[in-house]
Amino acid sequence: MEIPILSGIITGLKTFFKTRRYVAYLIVFVTSIFLSFFVSFLLSFFAGTSVEVILVNVFVYLGATGTIYFMLGSLFTGLGLDSLWITRRARGRATELKGVAWISVSFFISVFLSIFVGRLALLFFAVFCWVGWIAFQAYLSARTSLRLATISEPKKGGLAMGLGSFVILLIGLGLIAAEAIAALYLIPNNILGIGTFIESALPLPMPNAMENIQIQYNFVLLAYAFFGLFALAVLAAFVKYGGRGAALNISLLTVFVAVYGGYFLFNILRRTEAPTMTVVDIGMSFFFLIYAMSGIGRTVTETVEDSRSRLRDFGPLFTFFLASGFFFVDSIIAVTADAGSMLSQWFFADWDAAVNYATFIFRDVAKLMAFPVVSMGTVLYYLKEERLERIISQARTEGESFEKGEVDEEILEAAPEKGEAWPSEHARGIEEGKPGHDLSSPDSDRLSVDRDKARFKPGKRLGEEEEEEE
């Protein structure tokens, strides 16, 4: 029996093994991430020793090298300058040499940044990678929860579907309200002894729960203000789109965001001392990484199928850029939370232990703040743009048309009338009348080689990846 969510994750991850370039990117990424986690873990044991000096230099330069490498790749491929990056159709050895050359360039850039820019380089990675990756996680999670509910579309939801979706929506809003009341009032003020109970009486006590909330209270308050705006947005969206078959989408997203918010709040409460890179932290980080990689993998595949183009490198490179930068900066924050560490003195020489610990707690508060904001934007974009495109695309593929009253007006206007055929699909960038323009009919001028021919490979469809062998 196939599990849709699990099979979707596996399908997305398979994209990263489709070409030698993607595999090479994955190797560079895994290596840099492993070094970030492993060396930061070692730093917690060798603080104040001569070994720390060696570990810090290995950690900073190699960690930055991987991030800069993916940044350059994202920049070149995003601007369409693929020829300056790794040649797409070059033979294997030429591609490998070019990849090694760019890794070397990235390493030298990291050295120059440390000499001429210093700690300002960390601000760049923090803003564009650390914050960007948090927002990227929120976007992918929100999009997935919205797509999970497409089982009810495009038909209009009936009374049972509407009532069920409304109950799910109330559950999500109730969870958000309960988390806000607990974080802003019950725990920090120890109302009814709840704060004391959390700190000492739970099976897994969190002895610094009240202190952690109080340290970052203003930012926690801002985070739940964003959750309040999100709640208003989904309520308005439910009223407007609930009768259009999107009620379940909105309700599931609300529960999704509430659960994520609860997880981030739990992380804030459970922190005790720094650095605390526990197995749970590493496990959840890798879960989000695999989840994001599967999401971008499915997106890349869908783009190829929709546009009949070849596999592009920008999506994986940009994903690895944000992820590697996030883990690099996140590891630095974890290590610098120890005021006696070399990295703490390097970056924040004038900060005391209390400020460093507050910065450590802010790692989780930032995620709590970013998630509702990005999710709010995602749900509005999905309802106004992506939902219509997905329904129309699926109907075109299945050759289905709709009757009046079966779907809402915007879908009815975008689809042909009942009994009429869908118009032909046309390839982008190919003039009318040229081979390959009409994707609904075969190309009579295209040479195809039969699979039974021993000396030739099977004929390739337009848009399939073409990589020469070694």
Give the model confidence (pLDDT) of 253-286 as tens digits.
888 888 888 888 888 888 776 555 566 666 766 7
175 and 64, same structural domain? no
Tell me which residue range forms the domain holding 92: 1-118+309-336
144 and 105, same structural domain? no
Residue 313 has pLDDT above 80, yes or no: no
Alpha carbon distance 200, 237 (integer Å): 42
Of 17, 57, 36, 16, nearest to 325 by C-alpha is 36
136 and 204, same structural domain? yes
Q: Of 376, 398, 420, which closes a domain?
A: 398
384: confidence class by pLDDT, cuts 50, 70, 90:
confident
Q: What is the mean pLDDT of the chain?
A: 71
438: confidence class by pLDDT, cuts 50, 70, 90:
low
Lowest mean pLDDT among 222-231, 301-310, 316-325, 396-405: 301-310
148 and 177, same structural domain? yes
- 145: helix, coil or strand? helix
In a domain, 438, yes or no: no
Alpha carbon distance 155, 448 (integer Å): 41
The number of angstroms, rounded, from the C-alpha of 53 to the middle of its chain's C-alpha atoms is: 34
In a domain, 302, yes or no: no
Angle formed at CA 56 by CA 52 and CA 61, multiple of 5 degrees? 155
64 and 6, same structural domain? yes
Alpha carbon distance 373, 368 (integer Å): 10
227 and 111, same structural domain? no
Residue 319 has pLDDT above 90, yes or no: no
Q: Of 398, 419, 452, which closes a domain?
A: 398
149 and 81, same structural domain? no
181 and 53, same structural domain? no
Domain tally, the chain:
2
In a domain, 82, yes or no: yes
In a domain, 326, yes or no: yes
Structure tokens at 452: 């039974």
In a domain, 385, yes or no: yes
pLDDT per residue as tens digits for the range 55-106: 777 777 777 888 888 888 888 888 877 777 775 555 556 666 777 888 888 8
Mean pLDDT of all residues in 3-24: 71
Of 82 and 462, which is predicted with more confidence? 82
Beta-bridge partner residues of 426 = 438
Of 111 and 437, which is predicted with more confidence? 111
In a domain, 141, yes or no: yes
Residue with tokens 């904001």: 373
pLDDT at 146: 63
Cβ-count burial of 447 within 10 angstroms (0-12 exposed, 13-18 middle, 19+ buried)?
exposed
Mean pLDDT of all residues in 119-131: 69
Farthest-apart Cα atoms in the chain, separation: 80
372 and 227, same structural domain? yes
Contacts of 73 (CB under 8 A, 6+ apart): 25, 85, 86, 102, 313, 317, 321
Using N-to-C axis directions, what is the helix angle for 159-181 and 217-241, rounded to 10°? 170
Alpha carbon distance 72, 450 (integer Å): 41
- 404: helix, coil or strand? strand
155 contacts 406 by C-beta, under 8 angstroms = yes
Alpha carbon distance 384, 411 (integer Å): 11
pLDDT at 464: 43
162 and 36, same structural domain? no
Alpha carbon distance 159, 456 (integer Å): 58
259 and 138, same structural domain? yes
239 and 174, same structural domain? yes
The reported pTM is: 0.67
181: confidence class by pLDDT, cuts 50, 70, 90:
very high
Q: What are phi and psi of 190, to 5 degrees?
A: 55, 40
404: confidence class by pLDDT, cuts 50, 70, 90:
low
